[in-house]
A and B are shown apart, each in its own frame.
Chain A
Amino acid sequence: MAEYGTLRVKTGLAEMLKGGVIMDVVDAEQAQIAEEAGACAVMALERVPADIRVEGGVARMSDPQRIKEIQATVSIPVMAKCRIGHFAEAQILQELEVDYIDESEVLTPADIEHHVDKWGFTVPFVCGATNLGEALRRISEGAAMIRTKGEAGTGDIVNAVTHMRAVFGAIRTLQTLREDELYAAAKEHRAPHELVRWVAENGRLPVVTFTAGGIATPADASLCMQLGADGVFVGSGIFKSGRDLVDDRDGWIEDVSRRARAIVESTTHFDDPKVLADVSTGLGQPMVGISASSLPDDERLEVRGW
């Protein structure tokens, strides 16, 4: 008898995405550019993080119409974001048969205490984390994939690096502990002892771990891969780069396509500096970005999630 929605099937899709680039897209045209550039999946959202920053307001799940158009256009997996704790949005996304749900801090949180209970869903979830404890809490709620957070929509890689180092460094530290020290470690990380012990024994998270937030260049993608990410999410870094969309539409398409292809290539060939130098050459204007350290605390997205 066939079994659906098992943990192995949920984590299995994430295994198939490894070594790839998942690109944020707002419509079918961007999704097609992403697929042609070699993206292994697309993430549908209402607005890319850079626009959410500029325009403000409440950021929500994408309109189902947009998601259906994207699904009709590409054959690669289509993911979509729901607000933290907004299980009704998640139910709608499951009904639409998206391939993964990202319970994301980039959207405005719907619950300041609880995340979605992800075990009840057939569709798998990916969740963000800034440290090991947060990652393990999400996994204990049923997340089948983790995305280390950066500061989305800035084009500044510094926070993604900080959080990857925090997660992977904490894993290395756990591996040095004695069995009887793992109870206190679990308390310190505010995470279930069983999961802490699994991580200490295996030296990695039990699910695939991508990184996200601030990736804007091929070099950024390579840096994340070399630090231990299984793959990367790119948000504003692609579609907010290049020539001006309104003044020179064809020029914009050419620029964003070339940058998207270059980031895909640099993720596969992350440890081959010759390829990296080639694909980094002549890419045009990267997204202008904002220095993450200049953001006031109430505009930082990465701190959302509990």
Chain B
Amino acid sequence: MERPLNIGVLALQGAFREHGSVLRRLGAKVSEVRLPENLADLDGLVIPGGESTTIMHMARLYGLDDAIRQFREPVFGTCAGMIVLDREHLGLVDLEVDRNAYGRQVSSFEAEVELADGGPSLHGIFIRAPRIRELGPDIEVLAELDGEPVLVRDGRFLLSSFHPELTEDTRVHRLFLDMVEEAARVGA
């Protein structure tokens, strides 16, 4: 690689530091995004878990909602990040999500997530997690829990309802960086 990939992590509220440290460990250059101008020159963007109402509120205040709609590089959304990207919010990914659909915090859980490619399962941490209710026809399901999609890809968008940034397993972040690298190569 000639230069490290520049990845921005939306840092309005939530677990943005954890994503940053995983991405740095994988060799990316990471910056925090709080204002629209912070999106310039990024190769990819992560929208972390947190409270989706807080993240949307803060994004709208500073015009980050429109700026993210115009951003053309790969985007990875986890948990609240999945909600922010769905039809009802930024409208960038063709899916509908039920918020907190597994229940309140006492129903938060850890479980093994089965990969569609048959690879070793991922350990998923689900915290007041969203549940995908409806999925557009072009969306690829990469992993399931009890037959329901929990990790999906829609072109340049990668979404998970669980938190890979809270475990030591870096496979999901690595997949995202592969998407970013591929997009950068095609774009260049």
Contact = CB atoms under 8 A, between A and B. Distances in A.
B106 interface: yes
Interface string B2-41: 0000000001111111100000000000000010000000
Given A18-B13, A38-B58, A12 B108 contact: yes
Contact of A8 (B11, B50, B110): B110
Interface in A122-169: 122-124
Interface in A1-51: 1-6, 8-9, 12-13, 15-20, 35-41
Contact of A15 (B15, B53, B105, B107): B15
A3 B126 CA distance: 10
B125 A8 contact: yes
Given A2-B110, A38-B53, A269-B34, A9 B127 contact: yes
Which of A3, A15, A75 has the most chain B CB within a 10 Å cutoff?
A15
Contact of B166 (A4, A12, A18, A97): A12
A218 to B, nearest CB: 14
Contact of B53 (A18, A71, A76, A94): A76
B54 interface: yes
A102 to B, nearest CB: 13
Contact of A18 (B15, B103, B105, B127): B15
Given A12-B163, A19-B12, A4 B49 contact: no
Contact of A9 (B16, B53, B125): B125
Given A2-B110, A8-B125, A20 B166 contact: no
Give the bracket for the number of chain A residues in contact with chain B: 35 or more
Contacts of B104: 71, 77, 97-99
Given A19-B13, A19-B16, A264-B54, A97 B106 contact: yes
A77 B128 contact: yes
B125 A12 contact: yes
Contacts of A94: 106
B111 interface: yes
Interface string A241-256: 0000000000000000
Contacts of A13: 105, 108, 127-128
A265 interface: yes
B12 A268 contact: yes
Nearest to B109: A2
A265 B61 contact: yes
Contacts of B107: 4
A8 B166 contact: yes
Nearest to A271: B34
B89 to A, nearest CB: 13
A267 B169 CA distance: 31
A18 to B, nearest CB: 6
A272 interface: yes
A37 B166 CA distance: 28
A226 to B, nearest CB: 15
A39 to B, nearest CB: 7
Contacts of A16: 14-15, 49-51, 79-80, 127-128
Contact of A40 (B13, B34, B110, B166): B13
A40 B105 contact: no
B100 interface: yes
B76 to A, nearest CB: 16
A100 interface: yes
A75 B53 contact: yes
B13 A3 contact: no
A70 B180 CA distance: 42
B58 A264 contact: yes
Contact of B111 (A2, A17, A75, A123): A2
Given A16-B80, A265-B61, A35 B13 contact: no
B109 to A, nearest CB: 4
Which of B54, B79, B110 has the most chain A CB within a 10 Å cutoff?
B54
Contacts of B106: 4-5, 94, 97, 122-123
A148 B95 CA distance: 41
Given A4-B106, A19-B16, A38-B57, 7 more contacts: A8-B110, A17-B14, A19-B11, A38-B53, A40-B14, A41-B51, A77-B128
Nearest 9 A-B pairs (CB), nearest first? Answer: A99-B105, A38-B57, A2-B109, A2-B111, A40-B51, A19-B13, A97-B104, A20-B13, A9-B108
